[in-house]
């Protein structure tokens, strides 16, 4: 059973029924799902949550959708791994990685789309749609396929091959728009007025956004029901960043975890860092940017939740920082070479931000840090392709192999005695 009671305007507080709506009719503020936390508190406990299925739907009472309407492709309950090798390198004793690369379409976007698709079914839409920086496109197309819904998926034309193919394979109507994500998004806003489609990040955005909270719930449960001291999170629209914090606060309100002052650090790529740029100016007003970075999944120049991300940064005592594309590539390699996880560019952004903070002496070696790795590297091979050593080339003989190896590294390794 869901405890969602209404939608509320984040600016003026007006309430609306639980319908497909996303902006306040009076002040144009964004709408957010509001729950009956008193009732929820009576029913929800560590035991009741832990008894649920090994997917995001174990947290159904804290979500706005009925699991019976779910399009279930197996989203969530991804591993939280200790990262001792990367931790040793950076002087951090309690570093963890939340590996959301292993979701069904290989990014955290399956969390938000699972909730949005369930809601779209409840509202009796027959078509899912989205404006995407890449990962959302993959996830919407997959959920539509599984749920027997039609799909219209809009992407900027310059996306990585892995993300284009990773959408097309599910058979949606895939539209590559000649323009930036912000232009794709504007087009989709106009289309959502004209066509009765569930644009997951427009028409049903308040429900969609709630899906990100499941990352916080899982991490707290996987830590043995406690919140991290410090979360390192990538920011595009800023929605994920704010919802992880909301998820932690909710569990504390419900008495499922003890409240602690979790710091929220948000990282962007320097070539598209409107939230961090405002943070550095100590301003709450975002100046839109024209993106120019290899971190395409984060390339939103006019972030819808930027203002709320800035509030979360300020409230939680976190840091906003922006890293160069070279640092992003180095971050991808560092995570792969130390912990065996191949992340996409957004993961490189997070690891680069973590490294900067550690090397700048801005982290306590004993704080419990979780780095959120939100998407898989096979989708953004272009980012590292040119920077990796090519394979040794050899004929199928020992002599040829040894010749190639000694050319690359001088001496041969010790042979069997």
- Write out the residues near Zn ion by the rule CB under 5 A: 9, 11-12, 14, 24, 26-27, 29
Applying CB under 6 A, does 375 fall inside the site for ligand PLP?
yes
Applying CB under 6 A, does 103 fall inside the site for ligand PLP?
no
Q: How far is the CB of 61 from Zn ion (least distance, A)?
A: 27
* Residue from 99, 107, 185, 293 in contact with ligand PLP (CB under 6 A): 107
Distance of CA 354 to the CA centre of its chain: 16
Per CB under 6 A, which of residues 128..147 are in contact with ligand PLP?
Answer: 133, 135
Applying CB under 6 A, does 374 fall inside the site for ligand PLP?
yes
Span near ligand PLP by CB under 6 A; candidates 155-163, 192-200, 222-230, 233-241: 233-241
- Residue 335 · residue 354 · CB < 8 Å: no
- CA-nearest of 297, 236, 300, 230 to 265 is 230
Q: Which position has the token pair 């028409």? A: 203
Span near ligand PLP by CB under 6 A; candidates 21-29, 51-59, 64-72, 230-238: 230-238
* Residue from 192, 237, 268, 273 in contact with ligand PLP (CB under 6 A): 237
Distances (CA, A) of 142 to 196, 324, 376: 20, 32, 16
* Residue from 147, 211, 228, 238 in contact with ligand PLP (CB under 6 A): 238
Distance CA 149, CA 127 (A): 5
- CA-nearest of 351, 320, 356 to 96 is 351
Applying CB under 6 A, does 297 fall inside the site for ligand PLP?
yes
* Residue from 346, 368, 383, 384 in contact with ligand PLP (CB under 6 A): 346
Applying CB under 6 A, does 268 fall inside the site for ligand PLP?
no
Span near ligand PLP by CB under 6 A; candidates 42-50, 183-191, 228-236, 334-342: 228-236
- Residue 301 · residue 181 · CB < 8 Å: yes
Applying CB under 6 A, does 322 fall inside the site for ligand PLP?
no
Rounding to the nearest 10 degrees, give the CA dihedral for residues 62, 66, 68, 71: -90
Q: How far is the CB of 243 from Zn ion (least distance, A)?
A: 20
- CA-nearest of 408, 417, 7 to 205 is 7
Applying CB under 6 A, does 214 fall inside the site for ligand PLP?
no
Distances (CA, A) of 312 to 8, 91, 135, 215, 372: 19, 27, 24, 16, 16
Q: How far is the CB of 400 from ligand PLP (least distance, A)?
A: 41
């Amino acid at each position: 059973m869901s405890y969602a009671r209404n939608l509320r305007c984040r600016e003026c507080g007006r309430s609306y029924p639980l319908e497909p709506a996303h902006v306040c009719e009076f002040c144009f503020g964004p709408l957010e799902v509001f729950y009956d936390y008193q009732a929820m508190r009576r029913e929800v406990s560590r035991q009741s949550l832990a008894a649920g299925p090994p997917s995001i739907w174990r947290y159904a009472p804290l979500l706005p959708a009925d699991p019976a309407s779910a399009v279930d492709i197996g989203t969530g309950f991804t591993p939280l791994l200790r990262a001792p090798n990367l931790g040793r390198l950076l002087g951090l004793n309690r570093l963890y990685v939340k590996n959301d690369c292993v979701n069904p379409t290989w990014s955290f976007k399956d969390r938000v789309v699972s909730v949005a698709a369930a809601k779209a079914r409840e509202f009796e839409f027959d078509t899912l749609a989205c404006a995407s920086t890449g990962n959302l496109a993959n996830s919407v197309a997959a959920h539509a396929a599984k749920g027997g819904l039609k799909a219209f998926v809009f992407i900027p034309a310059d996306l990585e091959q892995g993300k284009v193919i990773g959408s097309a394979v599910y058979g949606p109507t895939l539209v590559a728009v000649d323009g930036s994500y912000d232009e794709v998004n504007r087009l989709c806003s106009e289309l959502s007025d004209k066509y009765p489609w569930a644009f997951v990040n427009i028409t049903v955005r308040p429900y969609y956004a709630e899906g990100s909270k499941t990352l916080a719930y899982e991490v707290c449960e996987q830590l043995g029901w406690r919140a991290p001291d410090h979360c390192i999170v990538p920011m595009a629209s800023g929605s994920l960043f704010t919802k992880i914090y909301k998820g932690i606060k909710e569990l504390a309100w419900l008495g499922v975890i003890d409240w602690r002052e979790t710091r929220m650090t948000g990282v962007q790529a320097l070539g598209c860092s409107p939230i961090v740029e405002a943070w550095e100016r100590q301003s709450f007003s975002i100046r839109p940017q024209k993106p120019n970075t290899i971190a395409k999944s984060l390339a939103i120049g006019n972030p819808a939740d930027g203002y709320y991300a800035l509030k979360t940064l300020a409230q939680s005592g976190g840091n906003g920082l922006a890293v160069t594309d070279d640092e992003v590539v180095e971050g991808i390699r560092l995570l792969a070479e130390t912990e065996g996880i191949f992340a996409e560019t957004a993961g490189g952004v997070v690891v680069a931000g973590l490294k900067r903070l550690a090397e700048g002496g801005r982290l306590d070696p004993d704080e419990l840090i979780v780095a959120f790795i939100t998407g898989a590297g096979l989708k953004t091979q272009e980012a590292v392709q040119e920077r990796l050593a090519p394979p040794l080339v050899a004929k199928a003989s020992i002599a040829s192999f040894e010749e190639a190896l000694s050319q690359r590294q001088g001496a041969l390794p010790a042979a069997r005695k």
